[in-house]
Amino acid sequence: MKLSDVIRYKNQINQMLNNVDYRWTIDSHLDELMRMVRTEVNVRNMYEVNVQRKVDSVLNSLHDLEQELKNISQSVNTLVEEIQPQYFEKSYKWYVNEMRHETIPYILNRKLAITDKEYEIFRARVKSWTDWQYPAVCFRPATEEHVLDLVSSSPLYLVDQDYDLLVPSIERFNKRYQRHLRPYVIKESESDPMMNFLPNNQFGLVVAYNFFNFRPFEIIKHYLSELLTKLRPGGAFIFTFNNCDYANGVMLSESIYCCYTPGEMLINLAKMLGYEHSYTYCTDTLCWVELCKPGNLTTMRGGQSLAKIIPKQL
């Protein structure tokens, strides 16, 4: 049994449970029916009780139907819990045996299949968190346009698993601005520290686009744990991922293209680690989450750092 089929069925059941429009339509129709029965004062007592009894019966039947749908949803959740361990295992094996050996050109050319409108929405969210008063981190900048929205951050840290993956992004900027960049190569691990090169409690924003989509849950967990110590209170962590709470996400996992990452489980993990969940955007093709470190952003910086070297007069 494919997990994508189970998740698709679960999504359909939950869609029905969350659809309140039909209840509003039915309730409105039944209220109108009762008003009609009560219109003629002289005769209404002959019919009102029987009609009200039938209306109550309809409402009770709808309640029973909704409860049955909830029972089905819970049973499907149990089925998902039974199947998904093999999907976690499959993702991790793919990450170890194949993804770690992907070539630089292949990684740089791998893009998310999203619309221009979706990407503009993502860029707008990134811009809303950008502030010149705080440094920022961008994982896998590649040739993505949202990196240009981070230029006000000083300094801007560019991070990836190989320096050659950073070169296309660095070369987009002139030599003068390149002095504001801090390129770093990361060695991924489940347990060992990965980001000792980043100062603690300093960053106002961390962005990872098209990066965690190709990381297993265990590795994402380690990133979340470490980056919480790097963010300053009130700082935000924005990242895309392959949301396997939806059938399309599971299908990408089954085709060995993206890793298996259940969205609800990921958000619960982030909350357990100490993040606050700020925002989630999700469509069939794009999903990202915004997490915040509890607190308020503060800084002692009064302005952009400007300096001029003046030769000493002899």
Mark out the alpha helices in 19-172 (DSSP H runs): 21-37, 48-97, 104-109, 116-129, 163-170
Which has the minimum average pLDDT: 64-73, 128-137, 140-149, 275-284?
64-73
pLDDT over 80 at 311, yes or no: no
The closest of 110, 230, 80 to 159, measured between CA atoms, is 230
DSSP state of 40: -
Write down the domain spans for the chain.
Answer: 3-97, 107-292
> What is the pLDDT, as a whole number, of residue 308?
46
> What is the pLDDT, as a whole number, of residue 154?
81
Region 196-217 average pLDDT: 95
> What is the pLDDT, as a whole number, of residue 181?
93
The closest of 217, 310, 234 to 270, measured between CA atoms, is 217
Number of Cβ atoms within 10 Å of the Cβ of 46: 10
Average pLDDT, the chain: 88
Q: Give CA–CA dist 82/113, Å, rounded.
A: 30
The closest of 233, 252, 235 to 244, measured between CA atoms, is 252
Q: What is the dihedral of CA 184, 190, 191, 196, to 10 degrees?
A: 10
> What is the pLDDT, as a whole number, of residue 309?
44
Q: Is 100 helix (H, G, I), strand (E, B) or coil?
A: helix
Token duo for residue 280: 């989630």
Q: Give pLDDT tens digits for 180-192.
A: 899 999 999 888 8
The correct answer on CATH 3.40.50.150 for the domain covering 107-292 is: yes
Q: Is 258 helix (H, G, I), strand (E, B) or coil?
A: coil
- Give the DSSP H/E element, type plus range, for residue 156: strand 156-160
pLDDT band at 61 (very low <50, low <70, confident <90, very high): confident
Number of Cβ atoms within 10 Å of the Cβ of 251: 18
The closest of 199, 220, 198 to 211, measured between CA atoms, is 220
